[in-house]
């Protein structure tokens, strides 16, 4: 989905993971994360709540009404139906046990749209790590295995065709990130705090810092006019400071996205909120990153190419 311009209607959206592997996850079946004890959707209730927060902030009353429906499982059931229709459209060759990226969006009028794309398979430990290990613990596990090339898949309407190893792998099987510091300030606004189709600030960061065709595991570390780190262009990020992992604070209009995996990590006590100055970020330091589609991974801050 391309980002909208200032003159175009703005939709609210969130991207989450459908993965049958999650049916075996006790963590994903907790009442905070799902209405079902067995759910194939990654932290679905946190995604619903982030959409609801955005709908209330932007006064999208029809969306507020949809997301506060008295039936607590309607969204789960609707998404299951959408997945089944997607698989049916794919025909007999559909891999029904393969994970999918699910982009869930709402127009101001309350119309819901769902798009699907392929994502790499990962172990449950990537989606629900036991903790965020220290840089010292991670250093020995990091590898330099090259990433595979992504290729279009006609079967998914041009979505990426990916597999379990289509990313650089750390020693523990988690995806390995390459982080690059942005070269331009990004001004905070409601659109950097709440997820909408106004995405030009993120697309711009990736275009100016990363080579064309960079994977989602090549990430741009963004910062605001105060010189404070805010987020990655696609992820929430975590820095090692004063003997613990910290993630930049977020408030509506001040800071980065109020991510679902970020919320989970904070609630589990894996990190705390703390201001991180741009000047404190050094080449070679290890950073954790997470999002609602790909789970958790880590990598090093690197010099920009070219």
> Which CATH number do you get for residue 62?
3.20.10.10
144-to-91, 141, 240 alpha-carbon distances in Å: 38, 10, 22
The model's confidence at residue 81, banded by pLDDT at 50, 70 and 90, is: very high
pTM for this prediction: 0.89
Residue 2 CB neighbour total at 10 angstroms:
9
Distance CA 2, CA 118 (A): 18
Rounded percentage of the chain residues whose pLDDT exceeds 70: 88
Look at residue 277 and tell me if it is in a domain. yes
The model's confidence at residue 148, banded by pLDDT at 50, 70 and 90, is: very low
* Secondary structure letter of residue 3 according to DSSP: P
Q: Quick check: helix, strand or coil at residue 39?
A: coil
Look at residue 5 and tell me if it is in a domain. no
Check residue 306 and give its pLDDT.
58
Check residue 144 and give its pLDDT.
46
By mean pLDDT, which of 100-114, 163-177, 253-267 is the weakest?
Answer: 163-177
Look at residue 221 and tell me if it is in a domain. yes
Buried b (16+ CB within 10 A) or exposed e, 175-214: bbbbbbbbeeebebeebbbbbbbbbebbebbbeebbeeee
Q: State the residue range of the domain holding 254.
A: 12-302
Count CA atoms closer than 13 A to 300's CA, side-chain side: 17
**Residue 273, beta-bridge partner list:** 247
- Which tens digits make up the pLDDT trace of 91-113? 887 788 999 999 999 999 999 99
Look at residue 4 and tell me if it is in a domain. no
Residue 53 above 60 pLDDT?
yes
Dihedral angle sign, alpha carbons of residues 31, 53, 13, 192: negative
The model's confidence at residue 125, banded by pLDDT at 50, 70 and 90, is: very high
Check residue 150 and give its pLDDT.
36
Domain count of the fold of the chain: 1
- Which tens digits make up the pLDDT trace of 190-231? 999 999 999 999 999 999 999 888 999 999 999 999 999 999
Residues 29 and 36 sit within 8 Å (Cβ to Cβ): yes
Check residue 213 and give its pLDDT.
85
Look at residue 134 and tell me if it is in a domain. yes
The model's confidence at residue 172, banded by pLDDT at 50, 70 and 90, is: confident
């Amino acid at each position: 989905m391309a980002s909208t311009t200032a003159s175009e209607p703005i939709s609210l959206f969130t991207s989450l993971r459908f993965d049958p592997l999650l049916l075996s996850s006790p963590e994903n079946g907790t009442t905070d994360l799902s209405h079902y004890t067995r759910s194939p959707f990654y932290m679905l209730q946190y995604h619903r709540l982030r959409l609801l927060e955005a709908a209330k902030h932007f006064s999208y009353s029809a969306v507020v009404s949809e997301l506060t429906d008295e039936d607590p499982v309607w969204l789960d059931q609707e998404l299951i139906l959408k997945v089944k229709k997607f698989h049916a459209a794919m025909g007999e060759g559909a891999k029904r046990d393969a994970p999918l990226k699910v982009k869930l969006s709402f127009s101001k009028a309350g119309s819901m749209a769902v798009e699907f794309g392929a994502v790499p398979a990962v172990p449950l430990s990537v989606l629900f790590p036991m903790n965020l290990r220290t840089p010292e613990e991670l250093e020995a596990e990091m590898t330099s295995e090259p990433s595979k090339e992504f290729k279009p898949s006609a079967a998914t309407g041009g979505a990426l065709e990916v597999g379990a190893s289509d990313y650089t792998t750390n020693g523990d099987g988690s995806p390995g990130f390459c982080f690059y510091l942005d070269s331009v300030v990004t001004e905070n606004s409601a659109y950097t705090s709440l997820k909408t189709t106004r995405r030009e600030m993120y697309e711009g960061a990736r275009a100016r810092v990363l080579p064309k065709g960079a994977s989602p595991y090549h990430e741009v570390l963004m910062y605001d006019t105060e010189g404070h780190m805010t987020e990655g262009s696609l992820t929430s990020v975590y820095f090692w400071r004063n003997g613990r992992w910290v993630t930049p604070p977020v408030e509506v209009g001040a800071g980065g996205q109020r991510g679902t995996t970020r919320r989970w990590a904070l609630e589990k006590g894996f990190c705390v909120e703390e201001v991180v100055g741009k000047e404190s970020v050094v080449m070679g330091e290890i950073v954790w990153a997470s999002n609602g589609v790909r789970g958790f991974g880590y990598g090093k801050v690197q010099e920009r190419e070219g």
